[in-house]
A and B are shown apart, each in its own frame.
Chain A
């Protein structure tokens, strides 16, 4: 039996791509190595009766994809509004800062006014850039009409910002996030909180130039979803895909992409599974990261040497660890009455910078900085009655460890994380009945993501747009005819957006 398309990996991008293809009448098969859909965003039980996913919140998921794939009908529960963000004051008696629906509380009027200015500027720029995330960006330098049109479009959009905004955009786009926030704000905690979304996932700290603002703007491209949970999105995507006729085979690992030389080029003909089965298809679409897809599933020997070298140099060493705690009862954060959304546990931008400094030399941070959520608040089924799940992103934990992530290093990191948590929520340590720490190496092994990197490659100027993952593969096509990329390693990048999957499907159907 043969398919029009085989999608490797049932992560959200793989599902989005498969659903679009199936909606357009293609016979699509999704092959997933895990026993459930969702990839990095899937749920698992990490302690008796306690479940958690690595991804918690769905933010900036485009409305267009949700409508196209009828996700609400299939059970997607998202409502568009900002996810509440709270900065916890390390001083027991200090005031916390909360950001809910674009309104700050916990800072003085001057800071609030500055925030409105800052937010409006970024919103204007983000909406200028928004159309360019949801489409394929043509390569530059070959003088095609479509390419010229695309860049003329960008130029016009930029001009439409007005002279002042345009100049400001060109000035701040490469600014370290620290410099930008210093221009607007005084409160160290507020700055730490606002810098977070510009930094997380990639190898950059508040003082690193060039890359952070684009990451931030990307995350502001669409309105955020406040109540949406990652698992609800994955379930809806799976249901939508199946309803469109997509076949999903779980617990089947793709061993390699089969390649056949045709008259002019090499051509992907299907996939070979770990159990030896060979499935044929007209084309193969991989939602795995570019390194895994091209260097493992295809094999570097099938690629032109310079191209293989470019894939090999993609910076995809993850720096974020996931910490899951099974708690006996709900923790109490000092001075916080109703915890919701995300909490930033970093006293100031320099605390983030110092944590990064340790990582530069391949060591875990002395004092980790954390982003914490309590997913079981929104979904009681994640924990037994009365229990609570705490999930945290831990920065910065380098993939390549001076000590090779041995047990000692893990215990040390866990202890340091608990120290930080205990400081903000006294008594929390005694509530812990189960822990799980997933380092970048664990994420790599478990989910098959090279480097354990969320975004399948740093969000950085040189790895974005027509250079994501690298030129020659940035329009979702690869040098192997019939082999496409649709994962977070492609334009525009990671997070639970489904945009790479959407764009890849459009490109395949074109």
Chain B
């Protein structure tokens, strides 16, 4: 029977990236996937005749440029299209458009407040500076401060140097930024509530924090941390949907000689003499390999596919403590025509970017209060995109596809488990909110797919439907991700690794976790690394 060099469990973007780099190093790699399609949460599927839904993740920005170039994803069919701007709807029927063009953005802000227009320039400069440091750490393995091996010391010194080079004042401002709430941070810059709310909303995405929760301000970096084609801070769509990213990664993997097998659910990792040596599939088939890499989240990896007896004592408990707090939902809608929004100028920016519904700071916080009480937000924050407005491949001509990301939607309701009725009520709350800004919207709906954390967990396998494979709070970042002592992609079982978003640097379609894990694996195998160093040509 064939014995592979490596088996990667889960064909999400990180699993595929990991496999691609292992295959590139000459390893014989197999990726096994439980679903009949690949991509995990970076996926596009035809769920309604003629429409291609990216029914989980929907925008791209975090993908590391250097990986994109190195794997030649363009040649494998990936094309990214940047957003033009974002419309933010306020509670009072007002709206704020964030244009990508700097002068247009400034003029639009000036319409609300001249002071804030200037403040926006300052905050953007500040956030970009903060983000540049984080960007440097994304493609590096975090140090373990409890060890004093040469690599750990070197990485610690690298981090310290990044900090020290900031200078005294910046260090303090940086620490503040990391611990403040988005509301406190934005209060220091802005006076207009809608401007604060439109920025603050990106401090809560995917996270069980409110805009007033300490620690929500650094999630604002998602505004500026990513890039599209080298434009730091830009957001974009993948032509053909997010599945195009997975397809390109798969194509790259195959070009290096790797293989992917779908409809192959792993139920158990085989461990002999303290070494991982293969997997058992749901149909009983055993596949053997020299190493096993799990792209599942940390909790699933440790508690579902590992035998507790194979693990050292205490690990099981640690893995069970790993926090998820599912808080996001998704509503995908097939539309008969482009919706019209009241109170905004009819220009291309309206539909060729995203529409966000932050309302106000209080509305955002109240949405979080609902989540805390185990209910979905009755007035949720929504971020909508209509990719079909500038990507003809995802819907029939003249028709449109709309993706709606919703914050907050709890994984567990206080009044019992999710039922189809409750799920529909959640979808209805979302439609009502959009209808308020776009009268007649309801009549355009041809088909609707509502996904609560429950559906996301069932289908994609993200525990509690957490889009980041675990909360991105300080206690679960860097050397604490997924938990202290196991942040360097290695599992307590020899020849077994993790490469999902549960590891550093965390969620977002970045492929960085998979690439970092590949580098560590190749190091253990004493093979030259195929993973490129981050060039970070930001400055």
Interchain CB contact under 8 A, A141 and B168: yes
Q: Which residues of B contact A210 (CB under 8 A)?
A: 179, 214-215, 474
Number of A positions contacting B (CB below 8 A): 38
- Tell me, yes or no, whether A413 is within 8 Å of chain B by CB: no
Interchain CB contact under 8 A, A209 and B172: no
- Tell me, yes or no, whether B369 is within 8 Å of chain A by CB: yes
| Proximity string of chain B (144-174) to chain A, C-beta cutoff 8 Å, 1 when within and 0 when not | 0111000000000000000110111101100
Interchain CB contact under 8 A, A460 and B179: yes
Q: What 4 additional pairs, Cβ within 8 angstroms, besides A141-B168, A357-B369?
A: A171-B480, A209-B209, A210-B214, A460-B214
| Proximity string of chain A (165-179) to chain B, C-beta cutoff 8 Å, 1 when within and 0 when not | 011101111110001
CA distance A175 to B473 in the complex (A): 8
Interchain CB contact under 8 A, A141 and B171: yes
- Tell me, yes or no, whether A207 is within 8 Å of chain B by CB: yes
Interchain CB contact under 8 A, B213 and A208: yes
What's the interface size class on B, roughly? 35 or more
| Proximity string of chain B (349-389) to chain A, C-beta cutoff 8 Å, 1 when within and 0 when not | 00000000000001001000100100000000000000000
* Shortest distance between the CB of B534 and any CB in chain A (Å): 25
**238-266 of chain A: CB within 8 A of chain B:** none
* Neighbour of B146 across the interface among A163, A209, A460, A461, CB < 8 A: A163
Interchain CB contact under 8 A, B214 and A208: yes
- Tell me, yes or no, whether A183 is within 8 Å of chain B by CB: yes
* Neighbour of A174 across the interface among B164, B176, B209, B474, CB < 8 A: B474
* Shortest distance between the CB of A461 and any CB in chain B (Å): 4
Q: Which residues of A contact B166 (CB under 8 A)?
A: 141
**158-207 of chain B: CB within 8 A of chain A:** 163-164, 166-169, 171-172, 175-176, 179-180, 184, 188
Which of B147, B184, B362, B475 has most A Cβ within 10 Å?
B475
Q: Which residues of A contact B321 (CB under 8 A)?
A: 183
Q: Which residues of B contact A142 (CB under 8 A)?
A: 168
Q: Which residues of A contact B169 (CB under 8 A)?
A: 141, 471
Q: Nearest 8 pairs between A and B by C-beta?
A: A167-B484, A141-B168, A174-B474, A461-B179, A462-B176, A210-B214, A163-B146, A209-B215
* Shortest distance between the CB of B364 and any CB in chain A (Å): 11
Q: Which residues of B contact A167 (CB under 8 A)?
A: 145-146, 484-485
- Tell me, yes or no, whether A139 is within 8 Å of chain B by CB: yes
| Proximity string of chain B (43-86) to chain A, C-beta cutoff 8 Å, 1 when within and 0 when not | 00000000000000000000000000000000000000000000
Interchain CB contact under 8 A, A353 and B372: yes
Closest partner residue, chain B, to A470 (CB atom): B172
Which of A139, A171, A211, A466 has most B Cβ within 10 Å?
A171
The verdict on A204 contacting B362 (CB below 8 Å), with A142-B168, A167-B146, A172-B475 known, is no
Q: Which residues of A contact B167 (CB under 8 A)?
A: 141
Closest partner residue, chain B, to A182 (CB atom): B321
* Shortest distance between the CB of A17 and any CB in chain B (Å): 25
- Tell me, yes or no, whether A360 is within 8 Å of chain B by CB: yes
Which of B146, B209, B473, B479 has most A Cβ within 10 Å?
B146
Interchain CB contact under 8 A, A166 and B213: no
- Tell me, yes or no, whether B24 is within 8 Å of chain A by CB: no
Interchain CB contact under 8 A, B145 and A315: no
Which of A142, A164, A172, A209 has most B Cβ within 10 Å?
A209
- Tell me, yes or no, whether B504 is within 8 Å of chain A by CB: no
- Tell me, yes or no, whether A467 is within 8 Å of chain B by CB: yes
- Tell me, yes or no, whether B323 is within 8 Å of chain A by CB: yes
Q: Which residues of B contact A166 (CB under 8 A)?
A: 145-146
Closest partner residue, chain A, to B169 (CB atom): A471
| Proximity string of chain B (115-146) to chain A, C-beta cutoff 8 Å, 1 when within and 0 when not | 00000000000000000000000000000011
CA distance A353 to B484 in the complex (A): 29
| Proximity string of chain B (493-513) to chain A, C-beta cutoff 8 Å, 1 when within and 0 when not | 000000000000000000000
Interchain CB contact under 8 A, B168 and A140: yes
Interchain CB contact under 8 A, B214 and A211: yes
Closest partner residue, chain B, to A151 (CB atom): B160
| Proximity string of chain A (139-167) to chain B, C-beta cutoff 8 Å, 1 when within and 0 when not | 11111000000000000000100011011
Interchain CB contact under 8 A, A360 and B214: no
Q: Which residues of A contact B214 (CB under 8 A)?
A: 204, 208-211, 460-461
Interchain CB contact under 8 A, B475 and A141: no
**316-344 of chain B: CB within 8 A of chain A:** 321, 323
